[in-house]
């Protein structure tokens, strides 16, 4: 699968650090605790939203590093959407529809980023829980309040963990996400 994704970069290999970041994001996003213990829908949409959420947190951290991380952040974005393209093709979405679906996913990404950024800057978890209910739990309304609160707490902890990591570690492609509690 990764070889197919990397081939999209037309002979130009993405930075190994971006690949490492994306692998870490996907691994964390697939953690069963989100789905089993916290009610995140175990569906294509739910898994997409978990990847978006973790990518947002990492890109947010890269933005704080500044210019040395700009290209890395762009490559991470490109890898994520190359992976989305590949996954759509793998599940049988026709070639003519893939571009439209990826464009819709990119628009969803930008909307979620805006929502999550504003909610993390707001006081309290109310705005974050609202953003999660609207996006992450969109297929399961209303979400379970304790699960929603647990995921909001996890997001804040993940953001804090990434902030505490040295720039050199982040730039090397290493991420330290918190354990998702059950």
Within 13 Å and on the Cβ side, how many CA atoms surround 90? Answer: 11
Whole-angstrom Cα distance, residue 23 to residue 51? 10
- The position carrying tokens 């979620």 is 112
| pLDDT tens, the chain, 182 aa long | 454 444 455 556 788 999 999 999 999 999 999 999 999 999 888 999 999 999 999 999 999 999 989 999 999 999 998 887 777 667 676 666 777 877 888 889 999 999 999 999 999 999 999 999 999 998 666 788 999 999 999 999 999 999 999 999 999 999 999 998 75
Instruction: Report the predicted TM-score, pTM, of the whole model to 2 decimal places.
Output: 0.88
């Amino acid at each position: 699968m990764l070889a197919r994704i990397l081939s999209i970069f037309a002979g130009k290999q993405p930075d190994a650090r971006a690949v490492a970041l994306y692998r870490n994001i996907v691994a964390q996003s697939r953690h069963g605790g989100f789905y089993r213990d916290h009610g995140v829908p175990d569906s294509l949409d739910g898994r997409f939203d978990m990847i978006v959420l973790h990518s947002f947190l990492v890109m947010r951290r890269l933005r704080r590093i500044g210019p040395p991380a700009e290209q890395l952040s762009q490559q991470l974005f490109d890898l994520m959407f190359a992976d989305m393209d590949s996954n759509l093709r793998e599940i049988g979405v026709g070639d003519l529809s893939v571009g439209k679906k990826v464009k819709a996913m990119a628009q969803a990404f930008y909307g979620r980023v805006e929502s999550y950024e504003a909610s993390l800057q707001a006081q309290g978890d109310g705005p974050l829980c609202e953003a999660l209910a609207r996006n992450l739990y969109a297929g399961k309304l209303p979400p379970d309040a304790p699960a929603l609160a647990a995921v909001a707490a996890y997001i804040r902890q993940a953001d804090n963990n990434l902030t505490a990591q040295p720039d050199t570690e982040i730039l090397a492609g290493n991420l330290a996400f918190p354990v998702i509690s059950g």
